[in-house]
Structure 1
Amino acid sequence: MSKRTKIGVIGGGQLAWMLGLAAKEMGLSLWVQTPAVTDPAVAVAEGVCYGAIADVATTAQLATQVDVITFENEFVDLEGLQHLEQQGVCFYPRLASLTPLLDKYQQRHFLQKLGLPVPDFAYLGDRPPAFPCVIKACRHGYDGQGTFVIPDEGAWQQFQQRWPQRPPQGFLVEAFVPYVKELAIMAARSPQGEIALYPVVETQQVDAICRRVIAPAFVDPPVSQQIEAIARQILTALEAVGVFGIECFLTASGEVLVNEIAPRVHNSGHYTMDACITSQFQQHLRAISGQPLGSPAMQVPAAVMVNLLGLAAPQVDYRAKCEALAALPRANLHWYGKCQTYAGRKLGHVTVLLPQPQAALPMIQHIEALWYGAPVAV
């Protein structure tokens, strides 16, 4: 397959920004489709097609400038893009790979048909679900938005008051999983079927937003091997092209349940920029541009990544906080350059390379004390 050198990305946020940085390193040309001139990826893109993420007319314009189009998020008009694909526009991942994944309820059925372990689930009707449970918007949920933990009848009544009219795609309801760890793996596949797997990592969520990643995860080898096998099975079944993020629950009994699949580069793989031979962003570009996949191996014994979220305080000296983090030994600060800050918004991340895995938890506590003002139990 010939090498594709002109890459289009639907989306202009921090993921597209990091893809843009990797593209420059690799000698690739990157264009983005995004609505605002202030979006992070605009600063590093060779060209921009301004328009909404789901605007197919803008995507058609983007297609005239590039060899292949990929995705920063899942907020796309899949049916509209299929018309472009039929006209010869190349999308990686292929739209057929996205079709069973964009709706969380359909994604659960896809995993179930593969015989993979998932939490008990159903489509949310009008009758009260069994408590405790988790309700998720079938489409357009991210960073905790569209996800609701429902422990009892009172929480169910609050949910109904919040959503007197439900979105068109509705909600998925699933049994609450009393997990002991949340785990994730970044997995890449080329058009020829070559697969590269990154180490299994532990992700820690605060208010349903990924806050920390520990690489590699402190789990027994059989657990990592099972997740690696799950990743291979999913990517092969989808005939995936590019990097996919796969999130799992680990229960106290050692059972692994698949939680969600993200058909793109993912927050749980940010540590790869500094800790691995090939970053997830380089790997994704390699896959979709027709290059051989790179090594996903870590170059250090361990690493931690902490997301730097916007703070609620009215006056925050983010510059001073960033300088303190950047001064940590073997720290790598990535600031996304967003013009607007607010509580909970992902403004950047810091990755610290560690000489031994045992240093992970103390380092996380130190980072969070510098950023959030007090160490947080991990």
Structure 2
Amino acid sequence: MNVQLNPTEAEIVASTHIGIIGGGQLGLMISEAGRAMGYQALTVLDPTPNAPAAVVAEQIEGGLKDPQALRKLAERSDILTYEIEHINTEALEQLQNEGHTIHPSPQILAVIQNKFRQKEFLAAHGIPVAPFRSVASRSDIEELAQTWGYPLVLKAKKDAYDGRGNARINSAEDIDSALARLAGRELYVEQRIDLEKELGLMISRNARGEIAAHPVVEMIHERDICQAVLAPAPIDANLLKEAESIAHQAIDQLHGIGIFGVELFLDKTGKLWLNEIAPRPHNSGHYTIEACLTSQFEQHLRAITNLSLGATTMRYPVAVMINILGERNGPAEVHWSQEFDPQRVFVHLYGKRETRIDRKMGHITVVGDNLDEVYQLALKVNAALTI
């Protein structure tokens, strides 16, 4: 971790109490970074007893949408931040109006947590997004199909992540089942992009308006869940610059403070489209802990406390991150069948007591010189672990 602070910044860190809404793996890694940097105190709010972050930070047990629990966290914090979008923005706005500092702001969160509003915001500011329309019935979808053709993607406007809240429509026969899957939710349809690669980058902004981006990565998804991240993305240098420019424009227009995960699509014609933004550290940035001079978690804390942003240069030519996903339901039990070089292989387990199919239980980062070789080693390490 690249913890370099001047005397003024060291004084800010030593006197600032950080409150984190959410105590899962992101809350854990934010707290670990905060401890290493020397922040005075860190408290997380999470409804799960002994949440992963509780091994590092103090925990308040409470719901993420409970106004009283949020107030309790705010009253013992100088700055509030969050590791998850699905929280009570109205309660946060009330706390903000009373003088509490919250980054990113509740107003930004309200735009981002409603994916349709987010698309409207991005489109209004000239940022390329896939064509989208609000829908309420089968006939609305059929009408769009006549214009755009199939396939289409039906999406919930709120509370959607890791593919939950999406339904692909390949033909008219899929419409009813897609509507049934997302029944009772506000919906929109997005034209399906003819996808070449899924890309992402972490980009941060502080209150001074300084912006710093980590390298663009390729994300490999299966079952709508990120399985692996390749850093840097193996694409043309001009596309790397364009992806960073699109992310820079989006964060600048949001006036966001903190770190943001920006996901993009690269289509088969070579065009980039912004898919969505996460107003927090993100799975696609976990590799930065070992592979970059400043991790996404340290950078987030630097941004929300208005310190200078850290260097984002990679320490190694390439890195690959693999998510450790649950393969069964039951108590978590860690078993290794092989040992690996600790100078190249870094394993993070999140301390979750229960494993579930496709639940994120940890991640593995492997560093080296050749992307194909590093990727194969990362897959081998993952195969040697059961949890």
Determine if the TM-score, normalized by the shorter chain, exceeds 0.5. yes
User: Could you tell me how far apart the structure 2 residues matched to 1:94 and 1:194 are?
Assistant: 17
User: Could you tell me how far apart the structure 2 residues matched to 1:104 and 1:179 are?
Assistant: 20
| Compared CA separation, residues 325 and 183, structure 1 to 2 (3 A) | farther
User: What's the counterpart of residue 376 of structure 1?
Assistant: none
CA RMSD of aligned residues (A): 2.0
Q: Give the CA deviation at 1:38.
A: 2.8
Structure 2 residue runs of 5 or longer lacking an equivalent are 1-7
Amino acid at match of 1:64: E
| Compared CA separation, residues 42 and 328, structure 1 to 2 (3 A) | closer
Q: Secondary structure at the match of 2:354?
A: coil
After superposition, residues 232-251 of structure 1 pair within 5 angstroms as: 232-251=248-267
**Does the CA-based 8 Å contact 2:195-2:268 persist in structure 1?**
yes
Bigger Cα displacement from structure 2, 118-127 vs 82-91: 118-127
User: What's the counterpart of residue 175 of structure 2?
Assistant: 156
2:132 corresponds to 1:113: no
2:60 corresponds to 1:44: no
2:87 corresponds to 1:71: no
After superposition, residues 44-193 of structure 1 pair within 5 angstroms as: 44-45=56-57, 47-126=58-137, 127=139, 128-129=141-142, 130=145, 131-163=150-182, 165-167=183-185, 170-193=186-209
2:224 corresponds to 1:208: yes
User: What's the counterpart of residue 4 of structure 2?
Assistant: none
User: What's the counterpart of residue 33 of structure 2?
Assistant: 22
**Does the CA-based 8 Å contact 2:366-2:378 persist in structure 1?**
no
**Does the CA-based 8 Å contact 2:208-2:306 persist in structure 1?**
no
With normalisation by structure 1, the TM-score equals 0.92
Identity %: 37
User: Could you tell me how far apart the structure 2 residues matched to 1:315 and 1:70 are?
Assistant: 31
Q: Secondary structure at the match of 1:141?
A: coil
2:45 corresponds to 1:33: yes
Amino acid at match of 1:300: Y
**Does the CA-based 8 Å contact 1:38-1:339 persist in structure 2?**
no
**Does the CA-based 8 Å contact 1:194-1:293 persist in structure 2?**
yes
Amino acid at match of 1:349: H
User: Could you tell me how far apart the structure 1 residues matched to 2:355 and 2:209 are?
Assistant: 41
Q: Secondary structure at the match of 1:32?
A: strand
What is the number of equivalent residue pairs in this alignment? 367
Q: Give the CA deviation at 1:199.
A: 0.4
User: What's the counterpart of residue 325 of structure 2?
Assistant: 309
Q: Give the CA deviation at 1:232.
A: 1.2
User: Could you tell me how far apart the structure 2 residues matched to 1:38 and 1:150 are?
Assistant: 41
Q: Give the CA deviation at 1:315.
A: 9.4
With normalisation by structure 2, the TM-score equals 0.90
* 1:43-68 deviation line (CA, Å, top 9, x unaligned): 110x2222101112111111111110
Q: Secondary structure at the match of 2:274?
A: strand
